[in-house]
Structures are given as C-alpha cells and as structure tokens.
Amino acid sequence: MADPRSDARAGSESERDPRRALGEAGERRAAELLARAGYRIEARNVRAGGVEIDLVARRGRLVVFVEVKTRRGHGTGLPEEALQPRQRARLVRAAAAWLREHGPPGARVRFDLVAVDWPPGGEPHLRHWPGAFDAGD
C-alpha cells in the first residue's frame, strides 16, 4: 500500500507536517495524471501575483491552471468542496500574473481542479475536473 509520506522529499518541511506531505504527494499524483492525459507540466508550486499555483499545465495553446485538493477522509467534506470562491479569485489573479510573464500570446486559459481521496494505507483516487470554474466565477 502506498503511503504519501514516502512520496515526500527527504529532509523537507513536509516530513514535519503530515498534511503538507499529503498535499505534496497529491500534487505529484495529479501531475502524473495530467501528463498521462497529454498535458505538459510547465510549473509546480509556482508563485505569481503573491499566490501559489499548484500546477500549470499546457496542451498546445491551452494553458491550464490546476488547483489540487487532497483529503484523507470526508470528515471535512469532499476535496472538491474545499475550493472556495475567495481561493478561486486568488487563483485567477495569480494566473493573470503568470500569463503576463510566461504565457504564450493568444493562449486559451482554463481552470481545473484535481480532487484526490487518499485513504490511510490505501491508494489514492483522483478525479480531474476540467473547467472546474472560470475567471468570472
């Protein structure tokens, strides 16, 4: 059985914070899922406009800003339910800042969510929500 803590980088801050280790492991799995679906991962955990973007992926002229939500259980709700309007607005601002510096001219933009359920001692279950929200949300 996989343990997200074993996915964490040795000596990192995540070894001291199990939630951070879980989040990092979920982001790695999300990046792998997207790569298998034909996306090129442009950036991971990048800061733009003072906000961290979990993943920036690209397929042709489409640039996808991905928020990854990882949970051990549903005591606090499904991972999909954790993406609140304020966080969506911050991600939109971060995406605009990232695009100003790195984006290809005329790029199409999409905001996705990858929800990761990772039961203790089990394998993660990932759900990709393309276009989970748009800049007008």
pLDDT above 70: percentage of residues in the chain: 86
Q: Tell me the H-state helices in the chain.
A: 4-7, 18-36, 85-102
pLDDT score for 9: 44
pLDDT score for 126: 96
Domain housing 99: 4-133
Using the predicted structure, report yes or no on whether residue 110 has a pLDDT greater than 90: yes
CATH code of the domain covering residue 119: 3.40.1350.10
Of the pLDDT bands very low, low, confident and very high (cuts 50, 70, 90), residue 10 is: very low
pLDDT score for 8: 44
Amino acid at 123: E
Tell me the sheet residues that pair with 46. Answer: 53
Burial of 36 (0-12, 13-18, 19+ CB in 10 A): exposed
Measure the CA–CA gap between 64 and 113, rounded to whole angstroms.
10
| Average pLDDT of the residues of the chain | 88
Q: What is the pLDDT averaged over residues 101-123?
A: 92
Amino acid at 25: A
Work out how many domains the chain is built from and give that number. Answer: 1
Measure the CA–CA gap between 90 and 74, rounded to whole angstroms.
25
